[in-house]
Amino acid sequence: MSTLRLITAGESHGPGLTAIVEGLPAGLELDRDALNADMARRQLGHGRGGRMKIEKDSAEVTAGVRHGRTLGGPVALWVVNRDYQNWEERMNPWPVDAEVKEVHLPRPGHADLVGVWKYRQTDVRNILERASARETAARVAGGGLAKAFLRALGVRVLSHVVQIGPIRSGVVPQRPEDFDGVDDDPVRCLDPEASRAMVEHINVQRKANESIGGVFEVRAFGLTPGLGSHVSWEERLDGRLAQAVCSIQAVKGVAFGDGFDLAGVPGSQAHDEIFWSQERGYHRETNHAGGLEGGMTTGEPLILRGALKPIPTLTKPLRSVDISTREPAQALRERTDSSVVPAGGVVAEAMVAFVLADAYRRKFGGDHIDDVLEAVRAYEERIGWKRRS
């Protein structure tokens, strides 16, 4: 059984970030521009902080690819931290002559306090640097490889913002084309009126020294039915997707399809009835389940939403305790964002793409991309599946 594995390494203000992706088939064509476009998309969104003006992320392939095609071995990616030049003494991997002060002010809502307990540290920076959402740049780099694999299979993974603070979008995209221009919007929202209100809300809250959370939605089109499995809890695809998306910093909830709204409706309104026709084969007229039943893809678009809490680094710090003196103090104040919901959707795309690519690898195997394509076609012919556009 082939599986896909992603490992990231690096600290927020260290020299850079590394992503290693293992399990891609040989012969997969990669697009450098598409990979770096995703890196730039992670930095989009009204409400981002000053660091986005410093970092211009790109991913350099250092192993596993030759002349634009994968070789079948692990692919290594390097993302430089340009801000490291301002942190070289504080974050050098090796001892330095200068005195580097420890940080003793943990932030409520961050990994800081529990991390120093767990890893027997006295300096909060030894925790916060790895816990930082800067790590997601490496995830987006690795997820870009998963997207390239899915594109070869006719699958597209897209995202948009559906809520920032109390402001909600009224647009429900149904096709990949409905996402055209989403990255041109300041908050990656498909509803222009809601977008304007979201931008204004961010401005008001930023002036009040607040951070703002929200909800992003990821949709995947063109999926083969039967990815995942019902036979074991750890193979259920909804569980694997939820874990992957909930692992993104500040994500506090995940819902599929109609999600929590299903808890308030009768069963006749909660499920997707099954139809068959000569033209369409098996199909559904609704998608309350979000493209997943029994832990497996149904062939309908996958719909997943993630709820992001307001990030915990505030321009007006919350109350905390100095861990060296145990005296009351204000939490650490660092360069921060007001809202990261637009970027959260891009990171979630990467994580969803990675889990879906892994599901294809587990089901269809194949040492070369052509082997994978042949296996997918044979399976879809066996089940009489008529691929959705």
The ranges assigned to domains in the chain are 102-383
User: By CB neighbour count within 10 A (0-12 exposed, 13-18 middle, 19+ buried), where does 284 fall?
Assistant: middle
The secondary structure of 71-89 as a DSSP string is: -SS-EEEEEE-GGGGGTHH
Distance CA 1, CA 170 (A): 42
Are the C-beta atoms of 377 and 246 separated by less than 8 Å?
no
Question: In a 3-state reduction of DSSP, which class is residue 160?
Answer: strand
Are the C-beta atoms of 219 and 301 separated by less than 8 Å?
yes
10-residue mean pLDDT profile of the chain (389 residues): values are: 92 97 98 93 76 72 98 97 94 95 96 98 97 96 98 98 98 96 96 97 93 97 98 97 97 97 96 94 95 97 97 90 97 85 97 98 98 98 84
Buried/exposed 321-344: b ≥16 CB within 10 Å, e otherwise: eebeeeeebebbebebbbbbbbbb
Question: In a 3-state reduction of DSSP, which class is residue 303?
Answer: strand
What was the pLDDT predicted at 138? 97
The secondary structure of 167-183 as a DSSP string is: EE------SGGGGTTGG
Give the other-Cβ count within 10 Å of 2's Cβ: 16
pTM: 0.95
Are the C-beta atoms of 187 and 41 separated by less than 8 Å?
no
Q: Tokens 């780099």 map to which residue?
A: 141
Beta strands in the chain (DSSP E): 5-10, 16-22, 60-63, 65-66, 69-70, 75-80, 156-164, 167-168, 214-221, 251-256, 274-277, 281-284, 292-293, 296-297, 302-308, 319-321, 328-330
Distance CA 388, CA 188 (A): 26
Q: What are residue 62's phi and psi, to 5 degrees? A: -115, -5
What was the pLDDT predicted at 313? 85
Paired strand residues for 256:
304
Question: In a 3-state reduction of DSSP, which class is residue 244?
Answer: helix
Which residues lie closer than 8 Å to 295 by C-beta, 6 or more apart? 228, 229, 230, 235, 236, 237, 238, 239
Are the C-beta atoms of 80 and 59 separated by less than 8 Å?
no
State both tokens at 368: 């070369």
Q: Strands 292-293 and 296-297, how do they pair?
A: antiparallel
Can you count the helices (H) and strands (E) in the chain?
Answer: 10, 17
What was the pLDDT predicted at 245? 98
What was the pLDDT predicted at 170? 96
Name the architecture of domain 102-383: 4-Layer Sandwich (3.60)
Are the C-beta atoms of 225 and 296 separated by less than 8 Å?
yes
Instruction: List the end-to-end C-alpha distance of the chain, in Å, as a whole number.
Output: 29
Distance CA 1, CA 39 (A): 31
